[in-house]
Every structure is written in C-alpha cells, then in structure tokens.
C-alpha cells in the first residue's frame, strides 16, 4: 500500500506547489479524502484475507466496503 502523507507532509507539499492554488478548505477536503480512501482500501484487503472462503460468492456487491462511505460526503 502506498504511503499516505501526514498532515504536515501534505501541507508542506501543497504549499510548496503554488500551481495547485488550493484554498484551506480544499486542502482539508483532499487530505481527508486521501485518508478515508486508504482506510477503506485497508479494510477491504483485510476482509478479503480474514473472511472465510466462499463468503464473497454470496455477496452481490463485492466492493461494498470500498463503497461504504462516499467521498462526496467530504465537503
């Protein structure tokens, strides 16, 4: 899994790259999205490895963990 930046790293990178031109609000939203995505991916991978074989065959939406929290909710 790729390294997710800390708040300090994210801010330093964003402030050192003026071409992004993000407002404080936009920075907070993008940082939160990075961490929510990483958490959902981690939970999904963990579930794949720990849930008994055959369980996923009965699940209609195999991406239900990844899709459990819409990133559009982060505003």
pLDDT digits over 33-63, tens only? 999 999 999 888 887 777 777 766 666 666 7
Instruction: With respect to residue 8, please indicate whether it lies within any of the assigned structural domains.
Output: no
Instruction: With respect to residue 50, please indicate whether it lies within any of the assigned structural domains.
Output: yes
Residue range 10-23: average pLDDT? 87
User: Helix (H, G, I), strand (E, B), or coil: what is residue 54?
Assistant: coil
Structural domain boundaries enclosing 58: 18-73
Instruction: With respect to residue 44, please indicate whether it lies within any of the assigned structural domains.
Output: yes
Which among 49, 37, 27 has a CA at the least distance from the CA of 1?
37
Contact call for residues 36 and 71 (beta carbons, < 8 A): yes
Contact call for residues 13 and 5 (beta carbons, < 8 A): yes
pLDDT at 4: 92
Instruction: With respect to residue 27, please indicate whether it lies within any of the assigned structural domains.
Output: yes
Instruction: With respect to residue 34, please indicate whether it lies within any of the assigned structural domains.
Output: yes
pTM of the predicted protein model: 0.75
pLDDT at 45: 84
Instruction: With respect to residue 7, please indicate whether it lies within any of the assigned structural domains.
Output: no
Instruction: With respect to residue 10, please indicate whether it lies within any of the assigned structural domains.
Output: no
Instruction: With respect to residue 1, please indicate whether it lies within any of the assigned structural domains.
Output: no
Beta-carbon count within 10 A of 31 CB: 19
pLDDT at 59: 64
Report the domain count for the chain.
1
């Amino acid at each position: 899994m790729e390294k997710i930046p800390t708040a300090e790293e994210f801010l330093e990178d964003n402030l050192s790259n003026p071409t992004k031109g993000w407002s404080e609000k936009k920075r907070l939203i993008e940082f939160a999205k990075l961490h929510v995505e990483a958490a959902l991916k981690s939970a999904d991978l963990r579930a794949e490895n720990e849930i008994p074989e055959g369980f996923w065959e009965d699940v209609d939406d195999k991406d239900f963990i990844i899709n459990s929290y819409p990133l559009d909710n982060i505003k």
